[in-house]
């Protein structure tokens, strides 16, 4: 599922393992990006630097890396466990 918002951001694409390698992610990403562009919005995506598959797929769709940044994550109970569970490194 590719989730977008009213500002042109895209993310949270997940293709089930048995359907990977058939270009589905590229089709979904390209179509959503084109919709945003047609609507006069920028099309952009956030991903973890370690997610090389997503980076390559977005590059094939015409995306280019323009910046990187750090997240500040707050979770009131156990932020280290929460961060690890979603793939963040806890400092």
The answer to whether residue 86 scores a pLDDT higher than 70 is no
Domains, the chain, in order of start with CATH, read: 3-85 (3.40.630.30)
Q: What is the pLDDT of residue 72?
A: 67
* Residues 58, 59, 64, 70, Cα dihedral to 10°: 50
Phi, psi of 80 (to 5 degrees): -65, -45
Checking DSSP bridges between strand 3-4 and strand 44-45, what pairing results, if any? Answer: unpaired
Mean pLDDT of 73-86: 69
- pTM value surpassing 0.95: no
23-78 tens-digit pLDDT: 999 999 999 999 999 999 999 998 888 889 999 999 999 999 998 877 666 666 77
Q: What is the pLDDT of residue 75?
A: 65
3-state SS assignment for residue 60: helix
3-state SS assignment for residue 12: coil
The answer to whether residue 1 scores a pLDDT higher than 50 is no
């Amino acid at each position: 599922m590719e989730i977008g918002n009213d500002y042109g951001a895209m993310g949270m694409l997940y293709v089930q393992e048995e359907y990977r390698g058939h270009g589905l992610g590229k089709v979904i990403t390209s179509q959503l990006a084109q919709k945003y562009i047609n609507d006069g919005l920028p099309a952009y995506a956030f991903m973890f630097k370690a997610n090389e598959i997503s980076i390559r797929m977005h590059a094939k769709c015409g995306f280019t890396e323009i910046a990187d940044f750090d997240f500040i994550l707050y979770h009131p109970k156990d932020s280290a466990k929460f961060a690890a569970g979603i793939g963040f490194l806890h400092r």
